[in-house]
A and B are shown apart, each in its own frame.
Chain A
Amino acid sequence: MITIHGLVKQFADRTAIDHLDLRIDKGETFGLLGPNGAGKTTTIRILTMLTKATAGQINIAGFDLPADEQQIKAIIGVVPQFFNLDSDLTARENLDLHGRLHHIPSDERNRRITELLQYVELSDREHDRVNTFSGGMKRRLMIARALLHRPQVLFLDEPTVGLDPQVRRRLWDLIRRLNEEGLTVLLTTHYIEEAESLCKRVAILDKGRLIALNSPAALCQGLGEFVVEWSDGEATNSRFFSDRAAAAQFAATLTATTTIRLSNLEDVFVELTGRKVVG
């Protein structure tokens, strides 16, 4: 569905994306992971034509960038990292503007807006100006807006940043439901649990480079399914093992208090980027 080949993005003297190659299949929920400044937003902005690539080829649903720009615009939905709703308009008017920009005929537009407002549970607030909305409500409205013109690919940039845990889980359910309906979803996040619970495959970016690409489970297995963690007074150390027996054996040789647990995507992340992700 999306093919990225040799993508480079240079900002003055800084390289934000350094030769990125990716293939995202139709119907897949794909996660772009990475610490702040890794280049996730830049990647999304290039794919959604808000920024021009310095080099590289991009193909979305058979259309090439930048040649088939208008065709691609019609089939993608975008939820940017920062709120960009029109605060002078109500929720419904925001969707109406989007529908008009995407040339949806008025009958269908109104029907679809009503349907989507219900879907993201904002029907009772449709006539309120969006500057009275909470973060979660704005994010849901932005998702509704991105879905209005029935896109084939949905881009979500840090969709749950700054949201309550309950709201975040509701958004996860929403994203899962969309994916079950056949939508291809590309999301970026620096919440490891989010990627683990939503994504079939993840790519880990660091300083603009792709450093790992696989399913969350396979990435954990690659590292070793079991972790022994201990503290030496200064820092937390960890070591990975492919079976529990070996892990237990190693733990027995340590004098400090140890924990044995299953490895998770966060371990992969820390191992690969040498940095702990903070939410």
Chain B
Amino acid sequence: MLTDIWTVFWRDWIVLKRRLSRYILSRMISPMLYLVAFGWGLGRSIQTGQGSYLDFIVPGIVALNSMTISFNAVGTPLNMSRVYHKTLEEYLIAPISAAAFVLGKIFSGMLRGLISSAVLIIMAYAFGAKFSLNAWFMAILLLNCGIFAALAVVAAMSLDSHEDMGNFNTYVLLPMSFLCATFFTPKQLPELARWLIEILPLTHASQALRSSAAGAGVAPVSLAVMALYFIAFVAVGIWQVKRVRD
């Protein structure tokens, strides 16, 4: 089982390794834009309770960036390999379990999420943001990468075209990246909107990253919600890989 997880991960790793420097370079662009636009530009004129707006949004950007990267690292390639290239069949024919495949893919998505988070964190420090990188922060970041890599497996196994994957990004990930406590606190929102937003995993990731970055630990409810999402997505993903043979 562990060997098989490693094999699935290994395949993605050698592909990533070949273009690692280009990958890291490309990962610098969108954080840079966020930091410039919201941190430097907008942030000067915004007052938050304590600290600067830049310090407030950095955990939010870490959350949304790790979500997007982990999701897309797994989602599009896996969807293409199932629908177009049929390379998924190579794994289905092999004597490995569906769980090993799913976990290998999730770890590989998490790795990319972590690399791009590292790039972002270094840049945020360079922009003068102040936050603490502690064990809680790392744990929540890892969990967030895991949740969205697992969601990517679910999406890639259930959507039947590249276009649908794009739509999933537009209708699910994009709204989440702006609404889930990334750039503002949902406290100010109307009851219903707040309630809706607070059941989404990314909201808890942003809030947990923010509180741990401020050295205030993590709300147990956030941890529980995130763990539940993770377990649910992994379970559904495994079930889908098992059932892919119509």
Contact = CB atoms under 8 A, between A and B. Distances in A.
A82 B86 contact: yes
A84 B95 contact: no
B76 to A, nearest CB: 13
**From B10, B87, B96, residue with most partner A Cβ within 10 Å:** B87
Q: 7 nearest interchain CB pairs?
A: A101-B94, A73-B95, A84-B86, A100-B7, A88-B15, A70-B95, A74-B95
A125 interface: no
Nearest to B6: A100
B89 A84 contact: yes
Contacts of A74: 95
Among the interface residues B3, B85, B89, B93, which one has the most CB atoms of the partner chain A within 10 A? B93
A49 interface: yes
Contacts of A266: none
B4 A101 contact: yes
Contacts of A100: 3, 7, 10
Given A49-B245, A100-B7, A80 B94 contact: no
Given A89-B14, A100-B10, A84 B90 contact: yes
A73 B94 CA distance: 6
Highest count of chain B CB atoms <10 Å: which of A49, A80, A97, A98: A97
A103 interface: yes
Interface string B1-26: 00110010011001100000000000
A101 B85 contact: no
Given A70-B95, A84-B89, A89-B11, 5 more contacts: A52-B245, A86-B11, A87-B85, A98-B90, A102-B94
B246 interface: yes
Size class of the contact patch on chain A: 20 to 34
B90 A86 contact: yes
B125 interface: no
A97 B15 CA distance: 12
Interface residues on B, range: 20 to 34
A278 interface: no
B93 A49 contact: yes
A73 B92 CA distance: 9
Contacts of A51: 245-246
A89 B246 CA distance: 28
A70 B242 CA distance: 13
Interface string A58-99: 000000000000100110101010101111110001000110
B187 to A, nearest CB: 45
**Chain B interface mostly:** helix
Contacts of B95: 70, 73-74, 101-103
A245 interface: no
Contacts of B246: 51-52
Contacts of A85: 87
B89 A97 contact: no
A101 B86 contact: no
B96 A101 contact: yes
Contacts of B94: 73, 98, 101-102
Given A52-B246, A80-B86, A103-B95, A93 B14 contact: yes
The A interface is mostly helix, strand or loop, or mixed, namely loop
A50 interface: yes
A48 B93 contact: yes
A52 B90 CA distance: 17
A50 B89 contact: yes
B91 interface: yes
B162 to A, nearest CB: 16
A103 B10 CA distance: 14
Interface in A8-53: 48-52
B100 to A, nearest CB: 10
Contacts of A86: 11, 85, 87, 90
Nearest to B15: A88
A56 B85 CA distance: 30
Interface centre among B14, B15, B89, B95 (most CB of A within 10 A): B95
A84 B87 contact: yes
Given A85-B87, A97-B90, A103 B15 contact: no
Contacts of A87: 85
A85 B85 CA distance: 8
Given A89-B11, A93-B14, A103-B3, A78 B85 contact: no
A86 B246 CA distance: 23
A133 to B, nearest CB: 14
Interface string B185-207: 00000000000000000000000
Contacts of A93: 14
Contacts of A102: 94-95
Most buried by B among A82, A85, A101: A101
